[in-house]
């Protein structure tokens, strides 16, 4: 049976520890050419942190403006839908009411979100057929809704024809 040869200790370090020291020195040699890299990346500099905060703040401000624009668009869409419904209801009233529509009529409707002023104008419409025969009893009715939104005047108009004998 063979016996393992023991080398004498080098500078007081046993042989089994010499191999780990050799590995450590190879690792140290590998990183020796980049000493600045090891030291400078130990923490973030103040300017890097401030730059990150600036980018974050700009992103938050942009996100806030985008949300504000979406809310304004939603409110405008809601107002538009409400006014369209008012105009459609008044149009159905005029179409289903017997007799000639009123020549001029003005009414104010409280929607709960503001006053909508509804203006109705009706005028006889002169129409002729292809052979030149004049058509009578046709009125052109114009409905205009006026309201204020955010300090600005808004309006929506619809025009349609009503036939009465």
Model confidence pLDDT, tens digit, residues 127-156: 888 898 888 889 999 999 999 988 889 999
pLDDT given at position 165: 79
Q: Would 1 be classed as within a structural domain?
A: no
pLDDT of residue 151: 86
Q: Judge whether 3 lies within some domain.
A: no
From CA 120, how far away is CA 115, in angstroms rounded?
16
If you average pLDDT over every residue of the chain, what do you get? 84
Residue 133 pLDDT: 87
What's the mean pLDDT in 111-132?
90
State yes or no: pLDDT of 25 exceeds 90: no
pLDDT for the residue numbered 16: 59
Q: 21 in a domain, yes or no?
A: yes
Residue 8 has pLDDT above 70, yes or no: no
- What are the beta bridge partners of residue 42? none
Strands (E), the chain: 104-110, 115-124, 127-128, 134-135, 138-149, 152-163
DSSP-based three-state secondary structure for 98: coil
Give CA–CA dist 74/67, Å, rounded: 10
Residue 89 lies in a domain: yes
Between the alpha carbon of residue 9 and those of residues 4, 13, 22, 24, the distances in Å are 15, 5, 14, 18
36 located within any domain: yes
Domain encompassing residue 145: 14-165
Is 122's pLDDT higher than 70?
A: yes
The verdict on residue 5 lying in a domain is: no
pLDDT for 61 beyond 60: yes
Confidence of residue 12 (pLDDT cuts 50, 70, 90): low
**Strand pairing partners for 110?**
115
Span 66-84, pLDDT tens digits = 999 999 999 889 989 999 9
Question: Taking the CB of residue 131, how many other CB atoms lie within 10 A of it?
Answer: 5
Cα separation, 61 vs 131, whole angstroms: 67
Cβ count within 10 A of residue 90: 19
Percent of the chain with pLDDT over 90: 54
Answer whether residue 58 is part of any domain.
Answer: yes
What is the tally of structural domains in the chain? 1
């Amino acid at each position: 049976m063979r016996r393992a040869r023991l080398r004498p200790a080098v500078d007081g370090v046993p042989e089994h520890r010499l191999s780990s020291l050799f590995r450590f020195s190879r690792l140290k040699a590998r990183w020796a050419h980049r000493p600045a890299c090891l030291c400078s990346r130990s923490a973030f500099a103040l300017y890097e942190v401030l730059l990150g905060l600036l980018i974050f703040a700009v992103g938050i401000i942009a996100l806030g403006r985008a949300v504000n624009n979406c809310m304004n668009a939603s409110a405008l869409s809601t107002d538009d839908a409400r006014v369209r419904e008012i105009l459609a209801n008044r149009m159905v009233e005029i179409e289903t009411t017997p007799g000639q529509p009123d020549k001029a009529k003005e009414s104010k409707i409280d929607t709960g979100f503001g006053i909508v002023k509804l203006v109705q104008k009706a005028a006889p419409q002169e129409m002729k057929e292809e052979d030149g025969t004049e058509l009578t009893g046709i009125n052109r009715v114009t409905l205009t809704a006026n309201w204020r939104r955010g300090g600005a005047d808004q309006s929506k108009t619809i025009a349609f024809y009503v036939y009465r004998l």
